[in-house]
Each structure stands twice: as C-alpha cells, then as structure tokens.
Amino acid sequence: MPRSLITGGAGFLGSHLCERLIAEGHEVICMDNLVTGSAENIAHLFGNPHFHFIQHDVTNYIYVEGDLDYILHFASPASPIDYLKLPIQTLKVGSLGTHKALGLAKAKGARFLLASTSEVYGDPLIHPQHEEYWGNVNPIGVRGVYDEAKRFAEALTMAYHRYHNVDTRIVRIFNTYGPRMRVDDGRAIPAFMSQALTGQPITVFGAGKQTRSVCYVSDLVDGIFKLLMSDVVDPVNIGNPDELTMLELAVEIKELAGSQSEIVFRPLPKDDPQVRRPDSTRARQLLHWEPSVDRHEGLRKTFDYFREKLKGMVGGAAEGAGS
C-alpha cells in the first residue's frame, strides 16, 4: 500500500485529495495546522484505518514515522482574503514550509508534488497562459506575498530536483471551485453564492470585465493525480479553459439561486489580474487529461453545498441565541 503525506490536507483541495488517494489504495497522512483548513472537511475520514491526521505547522521540522512514497505539499493560505490577512505566514509556508517538506522527501526517498498556482503568472501579458511564460508579477505589491511565495517554492523544488535528485512534480492550479470551500473564503464563487442565498448585494469588483477560468474540484483532483503518477517534471497547468467574465459569473449564480439580490460594483483590488485562462496543451498531451464537468453542473453541485452550509449556520445561530 503506497503511503502518502498531504500537507494542508484539511483544506478545500487537500481534503478532496485525501479522499482520492484513499480511493486509489493509499494510506494517507493528513497534516494541517488548521489556520485556514478545517477538521470538518476531513471528519468523515477519521474512522478510516488508512487515514491519519497530524496537527502541525509545516514551517517547523516535520517528523513522520515510517516510510513515505509520496508527499503532496498543499499547505498555504490560498484566497486573497487569507493571504492579505496572513502575509508573513503565507511567505513562511511557501519558503520554510516547502523547504521542510522537500527535506522530508529527500530523507524518505519520496516523490514530491508542489501545489503551485496560476498566480505565478501575475497579471499576464500573454493570453492564454502557457507554462513557458515567466509571468508579470509585482514583487512588492499586496498580492506579492502569495505570488512570490509560490514562485520561490517552484524554484526551490527544481533546485532539490537538480541537485539532490528528488523526484518532483509541479502543478499550477487555476481557479477551482466546489464543495468544502469556506463561506467566508473571499473568492468570487463562494462570495457570489453566499450573497445570493442570503439576499445581500452581489459585489463585483471593477466593471466585472476581468476574466477567470473555473474548474470543478473533481476535475482538478483527477489532473493532479495523473500528474503525480506521471514522469512529467516540468510545471503543468491544471485548469478548465472555460473562460468567462466576473459579471457573467455573478449573473449566472444569481439566476441559479433565483435571487433578487442587486449586483453592485466595488473598486478593483490592486494588482488584480485582468485575464486568466490556462493553456492546457501540456496536460492534454502528456497526462491525457481534460476537464469533464460542465460549469453549470459544477455550479449547481456547489450551490447545493452552500445552501445546506448556510442553512446549518443559520440553524446553529438560532440554537445558540435560544440557549
């Protein structure tokens, strides 16, 4: 049975990866300090004999007893609301955390997969973005704490591959959505859905003309697993090239909710990328991966999750108020 460590395993993506690796016959060790992750995301796995949880900050020395075959490094704040609130922690987990995880991979002879991001391309000057593009990043801007942490993590990963012969993989993750995103995540889909469901104004930044490409979580996890099992060392974009504007997305979610919420416009955040769409040629040719979940289907599944989540939160608040 392969033995795998997932750092950040209690997060949105990490928890789905825990499930996928267990389904593929792996023993999974989930490591998380629960700063942005949640034990609720993995609670259903606690009774599984092939699942183990360690609460730990990976910027400190990582100890795992026994052999490891795979290390998937997903520990990091990932939404702007988180990394703007936790800038130093974001830089530390991208640098010190990656260093500790790579050191463990070297010691255990494990294959190491880094969760990088489309943010390494910054506010891109080419469209769509392919893996050879070096990016357009403001290193001292407010978003630089996340962008540069991931760019450093990629450089460190390749250094360990070249100089220590660590078997490495790098996935550049584009915008992903699905169940287990936090209501207060701050990213567009959770924000639009929670606002539409609660009757609040739906807030769109700028004129809403900036674009994103959104990928359903099961498709992303499938691409990551295929990359993990491949022999592809160079970075690979994983994301759905289905591109739409933020205003189009807001309207689509409002209609899905049957909401009467007003769409309102707010100033565009500093350094917010104007376009974002992956060139997925490398994933298609080398991994034989393509997304399969239609956006409307994925949004409906995610909407159902948020509706139940918000219903539970309202019910819990009511119980608390009456006690």
pLDDT for 223-244, tens place per residue? 999 999 999 999 999 999 999 9
Output the pLDDT for position 92. 98
Asked whether the predicted pLDDT for residue 316 surpasses 90, the reply is no
The residues annotated as belonging to the active site are 146
Output the pLDDT for position 315. 52
pLDDT digits (tens, 9 = 90+) for 50-78: 999 999 999 999 999 999 999 999 999 99
Q: Are 261 and 199 in contact (CB under 8 A)?
A: yes
User: Residue type at 95?
Assistant: S
Where does the pLDDT of residue 310 fall: very low under 50, low under 70, confident under 90, or very high at 90 and above? very high
The verdict on whether omega for the bond into residue 128 sits within 30 degrees of 0, i.e. cis, is yes
Average pLDDT over residues 284-295: 97
Q: Are 223 and 287 in contact (CB under 8 A)?
A: yes
Output the pLDDT for position 318. 33
Output the pLDDT for position 312. 74
Asked whether the predicted pLDDT for residue 321 surpasses 50, the reply is no
Determine the topology of domain 3-176+216-241+277-292 in CATH.
Answer: Rossmann fold (3.40.50)
Where does the pLDDT of residue 218 fall: very low under 50, low under 70, confident under 90, or very high at 90 and above? very high
Nearest to 9 by CA among 51, 48, 66, 49: 51
Nearest to 234 by CA among 76, 116, 78: 116
**Neighbour tally for 10: CB within 10 Å:** 29
How large is the C-alpha radius of gyration of the chain? 19
Q: Are 195 and 88 in contact (CB under 8 A)?
A: no
Output the pLDDT for position 98. 98
Where do the structural domains in the chain lie, given as residue ranges?
A: 3-176+216-241+277-292
Asked whether the predicted pLDDT for residue 210 surpasses 80, the reply is yes
Asked whether the predicted pLDDT for residue 272 surpasses 90, the reply is no
pLDDT digits (tens, 9 = 90+) for 121-171: 999 999 999 999 999 999 999 999 999 999 999 999 999 999 999 999 999
Output the pLDDT for position 319. 36
pLDDT digits (tens, 9 = 90+) for 7-54: 999 999 999 999 999 999 999 999 999 999 999 999 999 999 999 999
Average pLDDT over residues 212-219: 97
SS3 305: helix
Nearest to 243 by CA among 285, 273, 198: 273
Average pLDDT over residues 256-279: 94
